[in-house]
Amino acid sequence: MSDLPSDYSQQVAKAHDRMDGFKASLTADALVREDALPETLARVNASAKCKLRRIYAMSDELAKNRDPFIACKKGCANCCRMNVVISTLEAEQIANATGRKMAAITRPKPHAIETFDGVDCPFLLDSMCTVYEDRPLVCRNHASYYETNFACDTVNMPVTDAPIVEFTELTKALGMVSAVKGYAMFADIRDFFPKQD
Ligand code: SF4
């Protein structure tokens, strides 16, 4: 980790305040629907692909008023240079959208948290996401509540200082919808789409 600025502890406190501000801005109605999403999707007679779209739509709805509270801006791609864990269903969505062949992952592939620090996502080009409409849930949910992007560069970031808003029912819904034969297969996006020569 590089040297931290002298006001780092104030920055951390402010980031937590900003995160609390975001949480307070969420409407009760949206939170109730997020809470019920796994149950709602279990009742719906639709394809897994269609249910995945509903999960992404819910995530986008929850994030729609988040901008004033976060450092994330177009052109900053620090979070695309760290582990990006996605499900097979999400990888299929990207493969269908891009025509890019995906690897068959037959067993879960856990990675240490720093495994892909500094390694570009295969869909990152000139610090922009080339699959933005089809980006995975983890990318939609990820945000830095700091005022600048200093802290979300993995070189600077002590992981314990990252305030995170967890939408647990969205994650649960993704696992449920992605499950084949009883469980969902998750791996890093680079496992599904290895580097092309
Ligand atoms: S899918 Fe897009 S947003 Fe997600 S890590 Fe890759 S480039 Fe970044």
Tell me the pLDDT tens digit for each residue of 8-19: 889 889 999 999
Whole-number Å distance, alpha carbon 30 to ligand 1 midpoint, is 25
Please tell me if the CB atom of residue 81 comes closer than 6 angstroms to any atom of ligand 1.
Answer: no
- For 71-129, write each residue's pLDDT tens digit: 999 889 999 999 999 999 999 999 999 999 999 998 888 899 889 999 999 999 999 99
Give the tokens for residue 133: 């409409």
Mean pLDDT, the chain, rounded, equals 92
Give the tokens for residue 135: 């980006």
What 3 state SS string does 79-112 have? HHCCCCEEEHHHHHHHHHHHCCCCCCCCCCCCCC
Query: pTM of the full predicted structure?
Result: 0.93
Contact 94, 54 (CB under 8 A): no
- For 33-80, write each residue's pLDDT tens digit: 999 999 999 999 999 999 999 999 999 999 999 999 999 998 899 999
Q: Where are the domains of the chain?
A: 8-192
Most ligand 1 atoms within 8 A of CB, residue of 129, 132, 189 to mutate? 129
